[in-house]
């Protein structure tokens, strides 16, 4: 039974570029949440996808967008990259019915913006 | 929105001693409180969680207590071992589905 997977592992981009990160949820899960973790800080909620719709969004600009596919996998897109977007991007999957459902994290994608 | 504060930011304990990490939250509607352990370069892993209908939960050497009135919850690790060294994050969730995390506690267990 595969856990949460993410790709790529590492990514280096320059300011102004666009990036797409991918996440496959744990088997049996239908909900994907995305978090940004800056160095030395706790994860910050970006948004959550359920039934291919954005169900909840954190305090991130609309440069951050996402998508969920019918197989429940998800993408995070970031446009017009800034130096401050450098971080570890984590996705978490859950069964999604209740907010009390456990969220399981993937290994993350380390994004560096130069 | 929810605001979670976590203390201390660093904690050094002698192997075999206990470690306690405390978190407070602001939103009285929060009803789910997980704790994650993150080793260097690894993903956050759930170690224990508690829901607001329970005051205490224990799993071997790890326990979590919740005081809804005071809006705080704590992680207790007994008989610490070197493999307990990591960053620990508390989090809280209300009915808006997102997890709000504390800033983390770096725990070092001295042999």
Q: On the CB side of B4, how many CA atoms lie within 13 Å of its CA?
A: 30
What sign does the dihedral B44-B64-B2-B26 (CA atoms) show?
negative
Average pLDDT over every residue of A99-113: 93
Residue A107 in tokens? 């290994």
Q: How far is B49 from chain A (nearest CA, A)?
A: 8
Beta strands per DSSP E along A1-114 = 5-7, 10-13, 19-24, 31-37, 44-50, 53-57, 64-68, 74-78, 87-94, 104-105, 109-113
Q: Do A100 and B31 touch (CB under 8 A)?
A: yes
Binary contact (B89, A43; C-beta < 8 A):
yes
Interface of A with B in 6-45 (CB under 8 A): 33, 35, 40-45
Distance from CA of B94 to the nearest CA of A (A): 7
Q: For chain A, how many residues are written?
A: 114
* pLDDT tens-digit readout, A87-104: 999 999 999 777 788 999
Question: Tokens at residue B58, please?
Answer: 């224990």
Q: Are A6 and A33 in contact (CB under 8 A)?
A: no
Percent pLDDT > 90 in chain A is 92
Is residue A30 over pLDDT 60?
A: yes
A55: nearest CB among B89, B97, B100: B97
Q: In what order do the strands lie in the sheet with A5-7?
A: A5-7, A19-24, A74-78, A64-68
CB contact, 8 Å: B98 with chain A? yes
Q: pLDDT of chain B along its 111 residues, tens only?
A: 789 999 999 999 999 999 999 999 999 999 999 999 999 989 999 999 999 888 999 999 999 999 999 999 999 999 999 999 999 999 999 877 889 999 999 999 999
Q: Please report the pLDDT score of residue B93 as a whole number.
A: 93
Q: What is the predicted pLDDT for the residue at A1?
A: 56
pLDDT in tens, A33-74: 999 999 999 999 999 999 999 999 999 999 999 999 999 999
The CA distance from B66 to B51, in Å, is 9
């Amino acid at each position: 039974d595969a856990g949460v997977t993410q790709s790529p592992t590492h990514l280096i981009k320059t300011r102004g570029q666009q990036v797409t990160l991918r996440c496959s949820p744990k088997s049996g899960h239908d909900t994907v949440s995305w978090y940004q973790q800056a160095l030395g800080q706790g994860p910050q909620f970006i948004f959550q996808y359920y039934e291919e719709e954005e169900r909840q969004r954190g305090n991130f600009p609309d440069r951050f967008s996402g998508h969920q596919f019918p197989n429940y996998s998800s993408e995070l897109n970031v446009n017009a990259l800034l130096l401050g977007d450098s971080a570890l991007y984590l996705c978490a999957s859950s069964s999604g019915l209740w907010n009390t459902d456990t969220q399981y994290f993937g290994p993350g994608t380390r994004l560096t913006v130069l | 929105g929810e605001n979670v504060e976590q203390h201390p930011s660093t904690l050094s304990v002698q192997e075999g001693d206990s470690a306690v990490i405390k978190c407070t939250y602001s939103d009285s509607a929060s009803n789910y409180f997980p704790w994650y352990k993150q080793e260097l370069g690894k993903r956050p892993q759930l170690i224990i969680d508690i829901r607001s209908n329970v005051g205490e939960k224990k799993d071997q050497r790890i326990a979590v207590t919740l005081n809804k009135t005071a809006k705080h919850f704590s992680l207790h690790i007994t008989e610490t071992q070197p493999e307990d060294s990591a960053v620990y994050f508390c989090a809280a969730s209300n009915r808006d589905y997102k997890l709000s995390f504390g800033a983390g506690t770096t725990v070092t267990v001295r042999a």
